[in-house]
Amino acid sequence: MQVIENLSVKEKLYIEKLENGLTVMIIPKKGIRKKYVMWGTHYGSIDNKFIVPGEENVTEVPDGVAHYLEHKMFEQKNGTNSLDTLTALGVNANAYTTNNYTTYLFEATDNFYPALDELMDYVQNPYFTDENVEKEKGIIAQEIKMYDDYPDWVVYMNAIRNMYKNNPIKIDIAGTVESIYKIDKDILYKCYNTFYNPANMVMCFCGDFEPDKLIEEVKKRLIKKPNQTEIKRIYEEEPEEIVQKRIEQTMEVSMPLFVIGIKDKVPEKNEDIVKKHIAIEILLNMVIGKSSNLYKKLYEKELLISEPFLEYEFTDNYAHISITGVSPDPDKILEEIEKEIEILKENGLNSGDFERIKNMLYGNSVKEFNNVSDIARMFITDYFKGINSFDYLEEYKQITPEYTEKILKEVFLKEKTVLSIVKNSK
């Protein structure tokens, strides 16, 4: 078993790759009553075109299969639903699908091992029939329609579609009402057998565990499956340029919502991504974070109603910045942000502001290690990006104003920037 220790947060990560290819990560927290587990598969909404290991032909499936599969996994052959079983045990259980992975999870203070029995049983034993697959279509169609009526989601997806021409990230995670009606049990079984192989999965535990004992408990509950070779995922080539600069849609909102997106290149070397991510977070906070001069000015003029949400999203398949907020005049916000970026490019970064924001972000990263659910989510999300979460804590110490200025000039480009607005028709 590999052990990685981080002295900054006094935490250890235990990693074991089992014979069947399953990776198990354990972050022990002595004396903590709460235990958290996530079991994830590297299979998300963007994985619609692939070659199954051992086959030669390309398999293409309808949009929304990964999310549909996640919905169906809880249903058991004996007529029970595993979510109900876990709730009856007194644990808080859930599952979710993202663009690049799906995960099943629960949080427990008692009954941890009975709950682990249930989790490992339902994730390894899918039960799909023509009837139960058909029955789910109406439920998921309602969910899709609900998101179509949700302004926060619409304004975000419109920004994504303004940035990306071919990348499947522009497709809703749940698919469309039309695409889900093409899903049947054979498609679900094919995708399950391809992507739910242990070699494509990771389990992450955080709580008061003895790693060796926990590994044995996991092994006892595993069904024997052969260690599969790598799945070949097929994505269309994405042009560097954006699709269009601006999009506006009318919906029932009290104040216009906006997303400013900046399309980025996917880093070629994985080791650079953590450093780049930190630099972008520092820059976003310097430009329009709560302590920035621009934010104070726009807030005082009532052009920004509250602090905008700042994010850098990336996988090995896409990367972009999003700035999300509420404003009576989103076009003015974009204009002011682009102006501020140009000033920073011309004048360089203020060293005092740089250090203050870097220290604040480092402090926020350290705080995430106080909560078992935050730790597990962080490690599993980073794992599917090829990152060890401890790397962030080390890279903060290395980041310099010079490197951050380089990223400012490379990434924060007007020609890669889009604006999505949702506002009232009145």
* For residue 321, pLDDT beyond 90: yes
pLDDT tens string 365-412: 999 998 999 999 999 999 999 999 999 999 998 899 999 999 999 999
Are the CB atoms for 208 and 199 separated by under 8 Å?
Answer: no
Residue type, 378: M
Residues 6+ apart with CB under 8 A from 88: none
Q: Quick one: what percent of the chain has pLDDT higher than 90?
A: 85
Q: Which residue has the higher pLDDT, 81 or 226?
A: 81
* Beta strands 102-108 and 35-41, pairing class: antiparallel
**CB 400: neighbour CB atoms within 10 A?**
13
Q: What is the pLDDT of residue 151?
A: 95
Distance CA 259, CA 155 (A): 6
Q: What is the pLDDT of residue 227?
A: 81
SS3 state of residue 141: helix
Q: What is the pLDDT of residue 50?
A: 95
Q: What is the pLDDT of residue 226?
A: 82
* DSSP codes, 373-384: HHHHHHHHHHHT
pLDDT tens string 10-29: 999 999 999 999 999 999 99
Place of tokens 């954006």: 242
User: Phi and psi (nearest 5°) for 67?
Assistant: -70, -40
SS3 state of residue 18: coil
Q: What is the pLDDT of residue 410?
A: 95
Question: pLDDT class for 271, splitting at 50, 70, 90?
Answer: low
Q: What is the pLDDT of residue 269?
A: 65
**Mean pLDDT value across residues 228-247:** 93
- Which residue from 419, 154, 153 is spatially nearest to 261, judged by alpha carbons? 419
Q: Quick one: what percent of the chain has pLDDT higher than 70?
A: 99
Domains (range + CATH), the chain = 2-233 (3.30.830.10), 246-423 (3.30.830.10)
Among all residues, which ones are annotated catalytic?
70
